[in-house]
A = this chain, B = another copy of it.
């Protein structure tokens, strides 16, 4: 099979074929039957699951078996700071917050200071700078509505007193060969990068260590992160803990189209801290699936799949399915014109970001209740 795309934690390129990815990664679709089961247990189904934005999984049926037996799970996810947080980064956290609410789940959030520092892509990214970014990210995450009593966040560099010992136990079961194959590193990779996946693995079984009994865990993540846990799940299993369940999201496209919104392409990326006018300006330049003129658009209609404005509504900003259908329909039939379409999205975004800023304001002096430190 010809591969015209690439998905790993350090590179997402080309037109991602998610069906192909499911086979390649050995993961399973979140199919209709599983959706029904989640809906039954949660009393609801998040639109990101309904719409296939979270499209794949590992061991979610086992997780729900346990849940239905009264064995509650916790949720683990994270973010590696490298620049400002974008709306694309929100996906796993929105899902984690929903899981917390619907399943009364504890949440652990790891903010690895070292990952992007060690990748060396940005030579100016010092550990001190990463730390600053990490605290900004933590506030952005908390403002999504996590419960302080059930949500703990930590920087790996500040919680290594707990994490490192467990990472050592994981690392004993992971060879350089495994890392080389999984991440495509060669012998010139630095030894910090090579070790790092062990640190990312720890929160997936840390509650079990701390409670002295096995506790199920689920990790919502972007599918590019799956490889970390393909490697770690084996090691965690050998240590005698439950392998974490995983749910995988597709990538929020770039405003100009393309596989993934990237914080390294600021013009086509919405940062959570972008001011109103900047959001409006960026959205105004976004790619739509529409024809080149209003005339043609009215006549021929557009393609929602190619329209980043439609997709942003689908991914994040229009939770109501019937309203989303109307937008897609308008795009398809040519009744919704580009200007109007973009203004509607920019307004929704700015409304969300405004609310978010207010929530941050209320939380910024109370972050200590979320943070774990050695």
Contacts and interface: CB of A to CB of B under 8 A. Distances in A.
B117 A172 contact: yes
A146 to B, nearest CB: 24
Interface residues of A, number: 42
Contacts of A168: 113-114, 117-118, 127, 157, 192
Interface in A164-192: 164-165, 167-169, 171-177, 179-180, 185, 187-192
A189 B173 CA distance: 10
A122 to B, nearest CB: 13
A104 interface: no
B160 A165 contact: yes
B172 A177 contact: no
Given A180-B187, A187-B177, A172 B159 contact: no
B171 A191 contact: yes
Nearest to A114: B168
A173 B188 contact: no
A232 to B, nearest CB: 11
A198 interface: yes
A171 B193 CA distance: 8
A299 B157 CA distance: 69
Interface of A: 113-114, 117-118, 120, 127, 156-165, 167-169, 171-177, 179-180, 185, 187-195, 197-198, 373-374
